[in-house]
Amino acid sequence: MAASTRIDASMMAQLQELLGERFGELVERFIQDGERRISLLRSAVVQPDFDVVHAEAHGLKGSSRNIGANDLGMLCGDLEQLGKERSAVTMSTVFAAVEQEFAAVCAELRTY
C-alpha cells in the first residue's frame, strides 16, 4: 500500500477492507467521475456558469471526502461557495488549485 500524502490512509484501508476486490472499481469510478466534473467545471469557470460550478464542485467535494481526499474536498467546498455566491473574482484561481490537487490525488490513487 502507498504512503499517503494527499489521501487519508486510514480511510483508504477501511475502504479496501470493506470493498475487497471491488476497491479498484471505486478508484476508477472516482477518477472517471472526477475527470468529467473537472471538464464541466473548466467550461463553467470560463463562462462563468455559477450554477454548474456550484453543482459540480459540490459533487466532487462529496466524492473526495468519501475517499479521504480531504484537501481536495476543502478546495471543492471553496469553489462550491463561489458558485453559490455567484462570485467570479477568484474562481479561476480556486479552480486551478482544485485541478492541481485532483491530478495529485489521482496519481496517488493509482498507486493503491
Q: What is the pLDDT of residues 31-45, one digit of tens each?
A: 999 999 999 999 999
pTM (whole model) above 0.85: yes
Domain boundaries, position 30: 25-109
Task: Classify residue 40: in a domain, yes or no.
Answer: yes
Task: Classify residue 4: in a domain, yes or no.
Answer: no
| Number of domains comprising the chain | 1
Q: For residue range 53-107, what is the model confidence (pLDDT) as tens digits? A: 999 999 999 999 999 999 999 999 999 999 999 999 999 999 999 999 999 999 9
Task: Classify residue 19: in a domain, yes or no.
Answer: no
Q: Which three cell numbers stand for residue 20?
A: 475487497
Task: Classify residue 9: in a domain, yes or no.
Answer: no
